[in-house]
């Protein structure tokens, strides 16, 4: 029979064994998990510093005071107009820019005729193609995949604009691949079907009038009602005034139902916005900036800070000048924009990896095989949970007291490189440690 004393002793031993078991488990967990290294690769990265603004695009259009001719293209007798050129196309005076039909049925017949003609031309081009090399087929696979992604994106979007063009482009690439892989296709039968449909449409066209551009410029097949909200000449002559961005953003549309398009008279246009006067240090007249329009998917548009108004109520009005015109830019008006005021290029490194060596230099531990090495870094930009960094250079004073790179000292350190395996988490790390 076990005495009370022995029972107490066994209880104490049991507790001790339990504590040892728990400690053993904790030790194993720490050794196998907490003690493991966590690493990330150093990759190239560009960080933009931006200012977000609400701005207004001013182009050479409308019926501004002092303008000799209106940029608007007016309808005649309620006719239906079909453009012959793409938006933002550069047209000369008297160039054909549209056809005017007496009714919608005739206009639609013409549109269908153009689509059929494009299909016939595409089939004729495909028919004329010979055998393609293996490399061509590999490239086609990539292009087909890209077109499929574009097709999926536009199906998911609220608008189906451009759907038929992407669909036809995808079909043409698939047919091209079929030819490249030796499949026999009956192009003549398909062309004959389209030509029969084309002939049937000829009788539905009716008469039409060819419209010529009254002057040179950039054709746009629509108007938005803000063409007269601001004077192009005032923007050009730096006369918009203080807080004018607010005036423009609060302007209202003025649409004329008799207008079917316009010709923008100049490829130079302006983007105007208000901003806090406290941020004026980021804006200097003559400075080049790059602008993103995230709502339109437009990035990296080069502009010049053209004018900065006097301060009013702690607000300044900034006018940017742009010398680029294309189909996307010609449709901009009231837009949210990001003004890029700085770019930082370098290696993106997790902030948890940053440490200091015995000399007080910022750096990281890099895992090279099973060897831990310290690499000092030059931090260019601090993000919330990362930094943008580059190779560290040591400096010294020259005979003139100026800073210059000390290459001998710099070469004493391991240089950080692209794709370095940076240690983000580890225990008892030091330069030269062997992991194993």
pLDDT at 54: 95
pLDDT at 353: 95
pLDDT at 55: 95
Q: Is 186 contained in some domain?
A: yes
Q: Is 337 contained in some domain?
A: no
> Which regions of the chain are under pLDDT 70?
1-35, 63-70, 129-140, 147, 150-165, 167-168, 171-172, 175-185
Based on the domain organization, do 79 and 180 belong to the same domain? yes
Looking at 181-284, list the stretches that DSSP marks H as alpha helix, in order from N- to C-terminal side.
Answer: 187-205, 232-236, 244-249
The CA–CA distances, whole Å, from 172 to 123, 154, 163, 198 equal 8, 18, 14, 20
- The pLDDT tens digits of the residues spanning 315-356 come to 999 999 999 998 889 989 999 999 998 889 999 999 999 999
pLDDT at 97: 92
Give the alpha-carbon dihedral of 383, 387, 390, 394, to 10 degrees. 100
Based on the domain organization, do 188 and 78 belong to the same domain? yes
Q: Structural domain tally of the chain?
A: 3
Q: Is 293 contained in some domain?
A: no
CATH number of the domain encompassing residue 370:
2.40.420.20
DSSP 166: H
Round to whole Å and give the CA distance between 393 and 403: 11
pLDDT at 2: 52
What's the domain range around 359?
38-46+346-425
Chain CA centroid to CA 325, Å:
17
Based on the domain organization, do 205 and 80 belong to the same domain? yes
Based on the domain organization, do 83 and 157 belong to the same domain? yes
Based on the domain organization, do 28 and 42 belong to the same domain? no
- The pLDDT tens digits of the residues spanning 246-297 come to 889 999 888 888 888 899 988 999 999 999 998 888 889 999 999 999 999 9
């Amino acid at each position: 029979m076990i005495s009370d004393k022995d029972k107490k002793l066994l209880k104490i031993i049991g507790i001790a064994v339990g504590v040892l078991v728990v400690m053993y488990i904790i030790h194993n967990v720490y050794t196998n998990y907490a003690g493991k290294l966590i690493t990330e690769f150093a990759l190239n990265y560009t960080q933009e510093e931006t200012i977000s603004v609400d701005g207004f695009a001013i182009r050479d259009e409308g019926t501004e005071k002092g303008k000799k001719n209106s940029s608007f293209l007016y309808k005649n007798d309620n006719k239906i107009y079909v453009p012959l050129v793409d938006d933002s196309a550069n047209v000369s005076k008297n160039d054909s820019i549209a056809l005017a039909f007496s009714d919608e049925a005739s206009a639609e017949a013409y549109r269908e005729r153009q689509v059929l003609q494009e299909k016939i031309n595409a089939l004729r081009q495909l028919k004329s193609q010979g055998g393609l090399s293996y490399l061509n087929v590999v490239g086609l696979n990539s292009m087909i995949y890209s077109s499929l992604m574009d097709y999926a994106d536009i199906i998911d979007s609220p608008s189906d604009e451009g759907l038929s063009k992407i669909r036809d482009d995808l079909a043409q690439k698939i047919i091209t691949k079929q030819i490249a892989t030796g499949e026999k296709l009956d192009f003549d039968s398909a062309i004959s079907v389209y030509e029969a449909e084309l002939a049937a449409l000829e009788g539905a066209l009716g008469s039409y009038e060819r419209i010529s551009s009254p002057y040179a410029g950039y054709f746009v097949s629509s108007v938005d009602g803000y063409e007269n909200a601001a004077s192009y000449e005032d923007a050009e002559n730096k006369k918009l005034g203080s807080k004018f961005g607010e005036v423009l953003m609060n302007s209202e549309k003025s649409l004329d139902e008799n207008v079917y398009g316009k010709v923008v008279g100049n490829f130079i246009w302006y983007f105007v916005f208000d901003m806090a006067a406290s941020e004026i240090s980021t804006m200097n007249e003559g400075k080049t900036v790059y602008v993103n329009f995230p709502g339109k998917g437009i990035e990296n548009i080069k502009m010049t800070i053209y004018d900065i108004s006097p301060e009013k109520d702690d607000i300044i009005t900034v006018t940017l000048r742009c010398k680029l015109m294309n189909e996307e830019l010609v449709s901009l008006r009231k837009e949210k924009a990001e003004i890029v005021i700085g770019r930082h290029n370098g290696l993106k490194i997790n902030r948890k990896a940053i440490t200091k060596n015995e000399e007080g230099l910022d750096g990281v531990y890099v895992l090279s095989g099973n060897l831990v090495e310290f690499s000092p870094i030059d931090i260019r930009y601090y993000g919330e949970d990362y930094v943008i960094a580059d190779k560290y250079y040591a400096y010294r004073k020259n005979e003139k007291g100026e800073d210059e790179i000390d290459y001998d000292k710099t070469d004493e350190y391991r240089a950080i490189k692209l794709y370095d395996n940076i240690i983000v988490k580890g225990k008892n790390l030091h330069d030269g440690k062997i992991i194993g």
